[in-house]
């Protein structure tokens, strides 16, 4: 059965399994203090155009959001996200578990608006009672967003400008960073992103790795004793070299972005077919996630042959479904899906 259910349903890109096999007779010290991690970090720094960026490897996305947000947000403050943001909706309260409120702004196709952020903060500080409220302490956005949409470079710059004006770091969740940065029409590069934001991560789990998210602090701004903070959150992988070998592979010969681009190309083909066949796309998104609003009979017909993702009920008779391509999606799979539409 065909599956376009999500982008984390295959173990890993074969090059990663190969690399793993190659190092399997070696012995490495633990917790990331090994030469492969160092090599991977160098390659990431180079890709970011930031020789002094500080790179850390964590295992998964919710974990990374929890650890980073907790580490960069003052105890008396919360994280500002859009209402559809992953930490607000799909992390089982991991942020609140770490003691911080998630402060929400409306989303616009999954995106945060810098003016609304500005107004939120201005209103907060203008309130005589704001010391009885939760301070906005950092800004969280994701690339790409929950709905597959992308920020422009100007939008990101504006978000950073507002965030910094209110003394907040801008944190970019890059669980799907590869798909975002290689999307048709994307006008921001990895080095530019590294310049704009204060900390971001390069998602491996959804882009070719078995698991792993590479956190990059871009401005000599790593929280003090970050390793201890990671450990305290139960997030320090004993065999850190497993993370190193995966990112070392992904950042060799541009593999990370090459395979990410594949997902977008397959998605572009599917989007074209959908439009040609008269489907209405729920969002105007250029990345590997395509949302379409379907009636139940169409869903029933499609689901006999292909697994799709459920998004939400649109109304009594329609449902928003997700078609998700991945680094591993083949032309044949895409052809087969298009034939079904």
Of 225-284, binders to a second copy (CB under 8 A) are 225, 227-229, 231-239, 241-242, 245
| Residues that contact a second copy, how many (by CB under 8 A) | 79
Contact stretch for a second copy (CB under 8 A) within 71-79, 252-260, 268-276, 292-300: 71-79
Verify binding: residue 316, a second copy, rule CB under 8 A: no
Nearer to a second copy, 28 or 140 (CB): 28
Task: Tell me the longest C-alpha to C-alpha distance in the chain.
Answer: 64
Q: Which two tokens stand for residue 171?
A: 């944190």
If you search the block for the tokens 């929400």, which residue do you land on?
Answer: 104
Q: Are 44 and 251 in contact (CB under 8 A)?
A: yes
The span from the CA of 158 to the CA of 182, in Å, is 21
Nearer to a second copy, 148 or 244 (CB): 244
Contact stretch for a second copy (CB under 8 A) within 70-78, 106-114, 152-160, 277-285: 70-78
The span from the CA of 95 to the CA of 67, in Å, is 9
Among 55, 59, 156, 267, binds a second copy (CB under 8 A): 59
Q: Check the CA dihedral 190-93-8-106 and report its sign.
A: negative
List binders of a second copy among 33-52 (CB under 8 A): none
Q: What share of the chain is helix, strand, coil (3-state, %, to 5)?
A: 40, 20, 40
Among 49, 74, 296, 331, binds a second copy (CB under 8 A): 74
Tell me the residue length of the chain: 341
List binders of a second copy among 166-225 (CB under 8 A): 205-206, 210-211, 224-225
Verify binding: residue 120, a second copy, rule CB under 8 A: no
E runs forming strands in 12-96: 54-58, 77-82
Nearer to a second copy, 132 or 220 (CB): 132
């Amino acid at each position: 059965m065909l599956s376009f259910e999500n982008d984390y349903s295959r173990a890993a890109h074969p090059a990663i399994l190969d690399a793993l096999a190659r190092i399997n007779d070696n012995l490495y010290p633990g917790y990331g203090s090994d030469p492969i991690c160092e090599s991977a970090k160098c390659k990431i720094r180079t890709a970011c155009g930031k020789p002094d960026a500080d790179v850390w490897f964590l295992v998964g996305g919710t974990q990374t959001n929890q650890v980073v947000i907790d580490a960069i947000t003052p105890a008396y403050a919360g994280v500002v996200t859009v209402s559809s943001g992953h930490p607000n909706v799909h992390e089982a309260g991991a942020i609140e578990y770490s003691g911080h409120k998630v402060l929400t702004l409306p989303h616009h196709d999954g995106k945060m608006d810098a003016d609304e952020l500005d107004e939120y903060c201005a209103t907060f500080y203008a309130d005589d009672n704001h010391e009885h409220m939760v301070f906005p302490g950092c800004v969280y956005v994701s690339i790409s967003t929950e709905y597959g949409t992308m920020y422009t470079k100007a939008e990101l710059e504006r978000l950073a400008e507002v965030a910094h004006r209110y003394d907040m770091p801008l944190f970019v969740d890059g669980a799907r960073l590869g798909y975002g940065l290689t999307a048709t029409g994307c006008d921001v590069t990895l080095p530019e992103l590294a310049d704009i934001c204060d900390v971001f991560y390069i998602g491996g789990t959804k882009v070719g790795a078995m698991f792993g998210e590479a956190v990059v602090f871009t401005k000599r701004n790593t929280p003090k004793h970050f390793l201890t903070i990671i450990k305290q959150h139960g997030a320090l992988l004993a065999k850190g070299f497993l993370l190193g070998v995966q990112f070392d592979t992904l950042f060799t010969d541009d593999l990370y972005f090459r395979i990410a681009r594949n997902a977008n190309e397959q998605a572009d083909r599917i989007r074209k077919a959908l439009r040609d066949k008269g489907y209405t796309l729920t969002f105007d998104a250029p990345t590997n996630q395509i949302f379409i609003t379907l009636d139940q009979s169409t869903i029933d017909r499609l689901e006999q042959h292909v697994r799709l993702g459920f998004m939400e009920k649109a109304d009594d008779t329609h449902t928003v479904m997700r078609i998700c391509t991945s680094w591993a999606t083949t032309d044949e799979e895409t052809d087969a899906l298009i034939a079904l539409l």
